[in-house]
């Protein structure tokens, strides 16, 4: 029986961490009872979501005392993300909730006036100590996803193995002292660089060699947060009933010849693995088949996620069907239940489309009051806003004058069919088949209030055209929100990626068909961006 234990308090995706440990040749078992904590020879405490929820769960399960005793025993302990934060005294996120108080300090909210929050993406760690047993490299980046962090101060020097800068804020990204080793980033989602760090802990005996403390970190003019390149896989059943990756031409996924068959561009698990090896920073699955008569627990996308997470160690997002559903036996599952099942199957984020539009419509109809019961709000409360992505499917509506509509308009450099100089972006539902009387500006700003942590910004006018992203749309949305924005729809050449990052403040760019058909490899995109001076993650396939 394994002496390595995983303390899962019930929040988020721990499957990927278990898969990473298995990939490294180790076995791990879950903590099912407080006594299991003290049986462990090594203990890993991962976590996502809110500080308060994590501590409340530890208290309710009677884990707090044995966890403190375990840490005091000198046996190796690793905390990840919230697992690091709970070691501190308190957090701005849950001011009335006490942490474990192993380290005296407070977790604080990032300033979102000058940067997107959450801090989401790949960033560097800068070592503060020499001689550590852990496999750290200042030229590698790791995957962070959090809105709160521990600001670095001199008082924390003895605890701090590495710091990271986001905007003008420097925070503790790795804690290491005595038998304690914790990361604010997710090693299981940081590719092979993250796996090497995880292996260092698994091989560690818990003895600290008291490495020399370096000088305090110095702020630099800009951080090392990279732009993300995301591979998107639209998944549906074809006419033979097989689950395939397809791609639409302005949302139409059927061939114009070949009998109108669904375009088959490959198998989802195999393609995801290929993109991981090629250097994609994230993988997004968009489920475009309803599976209406399938029980929730039997959804094919759950198996896709489980299998993908066995070999793909970057963030996985799943979209489609994140709503209240009823099984054939009439059992009701809330959107929160659905999301939880996807997280436990290997997803890190869920993407909400049409239901976000409906939720915002109700918000506007009800006097601009949050209900607290939408899918966005319930999932964000349970798992953190970084777990909720809003997928927006807009199309241009041209007008001759701003006075012709009550909607948020832009003056466009691309005139309409009658020479119109203005347009607004209408939100659609049902895969773009139905327009609604709500604009993109309304949707994204309200969804941010509800707790969404990221915007996936598609564009029906650009989808499948290979003519480049809608720069005007991306720029307008990015200026409207303080959360990360992913540009999507229209990429056809490497230059289009450079254009969207140079002309807007987009945090990431997503593409599908050009990657599937190998017209533009992921590596070519990154090489081009690197030549343009745009920070991107370098390939790393060495374990």
CB 123 within 8 A of CB 176: no
CB 174 within 8 A of CB 2: no
C-alpha pair distances (Å), 171 with each of 40, 216, 227, 316, 356? 30, 12, 20, 26, 33
Rg of the chain's alpha carbons, rounded to an integer?
23
C-alpha closest to that of 490 among 397, 403, 406, 396: 396
Q: Give, to the nearest 10 degrees, the angle between helix 64-72 and helix 51-60.
A: 100
- Give the chain's end-to-end CA distance (angstroms, integer): 26
In the numeric block, the tokens 């405490």 are attached to: 45
Q: What's the helix, strand, coil split of the chain in %, to 5? A: 30, 25, 45
DSSP track, 453-485: -EEEE--TTTTT--S---HHHHHHHHHH-SS-E
CB 485 within 8 A of CB 493: no
Pairing of strands 148-149, 103-109: antiparallel
> Mapped to the 3 state alphabet, what secondary structure does 228-270 carry?
EEEEEEEEEECCCCCEEEECCECCECECCCHHHCECCCCCHHH
Q: CA 479, 482, 483 angle in degrees (round to 5)?
A: 115
Pairing of strands 148-149, 119-124: unpaired
SS3 of 426, please? strand
The alpha helices in 262-299, defined as continuous H runs, are: 268-278
C-alpha closest to that of 424 among 447, 446, 386, 398: 398
SS3 of 223, please? coil
Tell me if 264 is assigned to a ligand binding site: no
Q: Which residues pair with 246 in a beta bridge?
A: 234
Tell me if 258 is assigned to a ligand binding site: no
- H or E segment at 212? none
C-alpha closest to that of 82 among 382, 412, 389: 382
Taking the mean position of all CA atoms in its chain, how far away is CA 375?
Answer: 17
Tell me if 321 is assigned to a ligand binding site: yes
Question: Which amino acids are annotated catalytic?
Answer: 81, 186, 188, 234, 393
In the numeric block, the tokens 């990271």 are attached to: 164
Q: Which segments are annotated as binding site for substrate?
A: 321, 458
Q: Which segments are annotated as binding site?
A: 81, 321, 458
């Amino acid at each position: 029986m394994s002496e390595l234990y995983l303390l899962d308090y019930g929040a988020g995706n721990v499957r990927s961490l278990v898969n990473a440990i298995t990939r490294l040749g180790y076995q791990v078992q879950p903590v099912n009872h407080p006594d299991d904590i003290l049986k462990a020879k090594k203990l890993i405490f991962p976590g996502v979501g809110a500080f308060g929820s994590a501590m409340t769960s530890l208290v309710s399960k009677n884990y707090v005392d044995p966890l403190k005793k375990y840490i005091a025993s000198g046996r190796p302990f690793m905390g990840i993300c919230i697992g690091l934060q709970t070691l501190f005294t308190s957090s701005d996120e849950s001011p009335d909730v006490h942490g474990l108080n192993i380290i005296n300090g407070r977790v604080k909210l990032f300033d979102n006036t000058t940067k997107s929050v959450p801090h989401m993406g790949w960033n560097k760690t800068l070592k503060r100590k020499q001689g550590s047993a852990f496999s750290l490299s200042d030229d590698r980046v790791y995957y962070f996803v959090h809105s709160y962090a521990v600001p670095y101060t001199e008082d924390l020097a003895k605890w701090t193995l590495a710091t990271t800068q986001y905007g003008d804020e420097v925070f503790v990204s790795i804690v290491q002292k005595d038998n304690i080793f914790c990361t604010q980033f997710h090693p299981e989602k940081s590719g092979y660089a993250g796996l090497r760090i995880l292996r260092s802990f698994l091989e560690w005996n818990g003895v600290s060699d008291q490495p020399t403390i370096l000088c305090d970190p110095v702020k630099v003019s800009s951080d090392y947060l990279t732009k993300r390149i995301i591979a998107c896989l639209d998944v549906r059943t074809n006419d033979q009933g097989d689950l395939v990756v397809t791609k639409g031409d302005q949302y139409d996924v059927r061939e114009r010849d070949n009998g109108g068959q669904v375009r088959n561009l490959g198998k989802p698990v195999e393609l995801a693995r290929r993109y991981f090896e090629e250097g994609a920073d994230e993988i997004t699955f968009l489920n475009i088949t309803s599976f209406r008569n399938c029980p929730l627990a039997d959804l094919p996308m759950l198996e896709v996620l489980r299998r993908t997470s066995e070999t793909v160690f970057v963030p996985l997002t799943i979209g489609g069907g994140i709503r209240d559903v009823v099984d054939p036996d009439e059992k009701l599952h809330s959107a929160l239940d659905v999301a939880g099942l996807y997280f436990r199957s290997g997803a890190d984020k869920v993407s909400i489309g049409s239901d976000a539009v409906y939720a915002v419509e109700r918000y506007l109809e009800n006097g601009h009051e949050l209900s607290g019961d939408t899918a966005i709000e319930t999932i964000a409360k349970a798992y953190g806003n970084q777990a909720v992505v809003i997928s927006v499917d807009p199309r241009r509506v041209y007008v001759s004058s701003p006075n012709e509509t009550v909607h948020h308009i832009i003056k466009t450099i691309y005139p309409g069919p009658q020479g119109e100089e203005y347009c607004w972006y209408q939100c659609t539902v049902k895969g773009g088949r139905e327009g609604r009387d709500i604009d993109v500006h309304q949707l994204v700003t309200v969804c941010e209030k509800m707790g969404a942590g990221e915007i996936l910004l598609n564009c029906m006018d650009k989808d499948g055209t290979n003519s480049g992203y809608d720069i005007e749309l991306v720029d307008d949305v990015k200026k409207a929100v303080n959360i990360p924005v992913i540009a999507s729809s229209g990429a056809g050449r490497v230059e289009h990626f450079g254009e969207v990052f140079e002309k807007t403040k987009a945090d990431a760019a997503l593409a599908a068909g050009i990657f599937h058909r190998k017209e533009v490899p992921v590596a070519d995109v990154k090489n081009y961006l690197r030549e343009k001076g745009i920070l991107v993650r370098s390939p790393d396939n060495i374990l």
